Amino acid sequence: MLVKCLKGSEFLLQDEYGALIQPNLRLLPTSSGRLDGWTFAAKDNIDVEGYVSSAGNPDWLRTHPPAERSAKVIRVLLAEGALLVGKTHTDELMYSLNGENYHYGTPKNPRDPTRIPGGSSSGSSVAVAAGLVDFALGTDTGGSVRIPSSYCGIYGIRPTHGRVSTEGVIKLAPSFCTVGWMAASASRLAEVGRVLLGLDPTKSSDPMPYTRCVVATDALNLAESGLLQECMNAVSRIFPSFQTVEMKSLSQEGLDLWLWAFRTIQSWEIWETHGDWIEETKPTFGPGVAERFAAAKTVTPDRVDLAQRIREKARARLRELLGDDGVIVMPTAPGPAPVLNWDKALLDEWRSRAMQLTCPAGLAGLPQVTMPWLELNGLPVGFSLLGSAGDDIRLLQLACRMEEN
């Protein structure tokens, strides 16, 4: 494939927010298409030919060779006319939701620089929120596109697991990992989606609209007290789009149990994927990340077996709630982005609440779109649409209709 790579100060973006780890990287479009004239950035765990992805860690950067080929998602976007203008910061090995990198620093949240941007797709969300690019690629295992999108006040999507290629992507836990994307508008998010989801532009791709809306009451209970009314106001705005609106709990066992199952399976897969490299290289990890990898090493097969059974119950429950005509709505995060250098115990508790909101989509492999519809104390919080497997374009089109209203 013919790809021209441009380097030089004349092409540098004015990245005052520290979103980019490789700001002098350029890949020109390989063809003309639906994204002509659009610029994008890619998280630094997505391969670009001739470059080494750091995955947010200097030891990973040191011990891995340059990519022989760009990731499939990048090749698809270049073939549709988009221009790659840089690689973005990520948390270490994508194993955090905060966006604070011990080695490379923390991108500034454009909505409030005193607060974290969210991770692990921190740089990608900041690049979009700061207007550096038209859209950005991230990856989402446990919430790493949805949470930073929420904190930075932009649109983001975690697609159906396996729906978008992860070829050429450094993964954290393969059965959960997805390539997602972010944009400042629902319409732009949807247009990128039509490309990455492989929809033929010459054919109609309009699925049947949803008729039922399920408001996740247990998810609402995890939100900050002042956010509840904001959520209900958002729900009232979308009433006309549905024949029925139902108030139901996602989990009959409790979202905390679903999170335990998610973390157990995720940890097992993480150690299966990266344990050998960690044991051989003995990399330096920052606070929090080091402890999580150490804990991942201790997960036993019997715990994984129990977690898998809980996962199957979660999948069945979500299939029951969604049917073939339902969409679930819920807050994306418990509230606005926490402040920088927050107390560790408080941040750990917040991370647990956030992951109770993000784990349902991960456990069931479902698509989820987050929209910057909520606000608390002048700061953004995402409002999420969760759909059935394969409902990616249906969710994106619903988000577009909501944006127009």
In a domain, 392, yes or no: yes
The 3-state DSSP class for residue 209 equals: coil
Kindly state whether residue 145 falls inside one of the protein's structural domains.
Answer: yes
- Chain CA centroid to CA 376, Å: 22
Q: Which domain holds residue 390?
A: 212-256+296-404
Q: Assess whether 176 and 67 both reside in one domain.
A: yes
- pLDDT at residue 3, as a whole number: 38
Average pLDDT on 221-247 reads 90
State the catalytic residue, choosing from 70, 144, 150, 384.
Answer: 144
109 and 237 part of one domain: no
The Cα–Cα gap between 233 and 76 comes to 39
Q: Is residue 270 part of a domain?
A: no
With CA atoms as reference, report the closest residue to 40 among 10, 70, 9: 70
Helix axes 255-281, 301-322, angle to 10 degrees: 140
HSE toward the beta carbon, residue 238, CA cutoff 13 A: 31
In a domain, 6, yes or no: no
Residues 288-323 pLDDT 10s = 999 999 999 999 999 999 999 999 999 999 999 999
DSSP reduced 3-state for 248 = strand
CB-based contacts of 110: which residues, under 8 Å, 6+ apart?
Answer: 17, 126, 129, 130, 152
Position 8 pLDDT exceeds 60 = no
pLDDT 10s digits, 106-146: 999 999 999 999 999 999 999 999 999 999 999 999 999 99
- Contact status, residue 55 vs residue 90, Cβ threshold 8 Å: yes
> Which 8-state DSSP code applies to residue 356?
H
Is 120 assigned a catalytic role?
yes
Q: Which helix (H) or strand (E) holds 319?
A: helix 301-322
From the list 43, 87, 108, 171, the catalytic residue is: 43
Tell me, yes or no, whether 97 lies in a domain.
yes
Looking at the structure, tell me whether residues 187 and 56 fall in a common domain: yes
Peptide bond into 120 cis (omega under 30): yes
Q: Which of 110, 168, 138, 195 has the alpha carbon at shortest distance from 379? A: 110
Establish whether 251 is a catalytic residue. no
**Token pair for residue 402?**
């909501």
Point out the catalytic residue in the list 96, 120, 121, 384: 120
Q: Is residue 394 part of a domain?
A: yes
Question: Is residue 9 scored above 70 in pLDDT?
Answer: no
**89 and 230 in one domain?**
no
pLDDT (tens digit, 9 = 90+) per residue, 18-42? 999 988 899 999 999 999 999 999 9
Higher pLDDT pick, 9 / 205: 205
**Closest C-alpha among 76, 68, 78, 86 to residue 30:** 78
pLDDT for the residue 240: 85
Please list, in sequence order, all residues whose beta carbon lies within 8 angstroms of the beta carbon of residue 140, skipping any fewer than 6 positions away: 121, 146, 158, 177, 178, 179, 180
Q: How far apart are CA 123 and CA 18, in angstroms?
A: 7
Same domain, 175 and 47: yes
**Range 52-67 average pLDDT:** 98
Residues 389 and 241 grouped into a single domain: yes
Residue 111 is encoded by which pair of tokens? Answer: 């909505």
Do the bridges between strand 26-27 and strand 5-6 make them parallel or antiparallel, or are there none, so unpaired? Answer: antiparallel
Residues 102, 170 within the same domain = yes
33 and 140 share one domain:
yes
The predicted model gives 158-177 an average pLDDT of 98
Strand partners, 137: 42, 181
CATH of the domain at 115: 3.90.1300.10
Q: Could you tell me if residue 321 is inside a domain? A: yes
User: Could you give the 3-state DSSP secondary structure of residue 246?
Assistant: strand
Looking at the structure, tell me whether residues 32 and 146 fall in a common domain.
yes
Residue 288 maps to a domain: no
Note whether 129 and 42 are same-domain residues.
Answer: yes
Q: How many domains does the chain have?
A: 2
238 & 164 share domain: no
Q: For residue 258, what is the enclosing H or E element?
A: helix 255-281
Q: Tell whether 64 and 153 lie within a shared domain.
A: yes
d(CA 38, CA 133): 8
Q: How far apart are CA 145 and CA 358, in angstroms?
A: 10
Confidence of residue 14 (pLDDT cuts 50, 70, 90): confident
Is 297 known to be catalytic? no
pLDDT bucket at 12, cuts 50 / 70 / 90: low
Select from 223, 212, 281, 217 the least CA-distant residue to 249: 217
Task: Kindly report, residue by residue over 382-400, the tens digit of the pLDDT.
Answer: 999 999 999 999 999 999 9
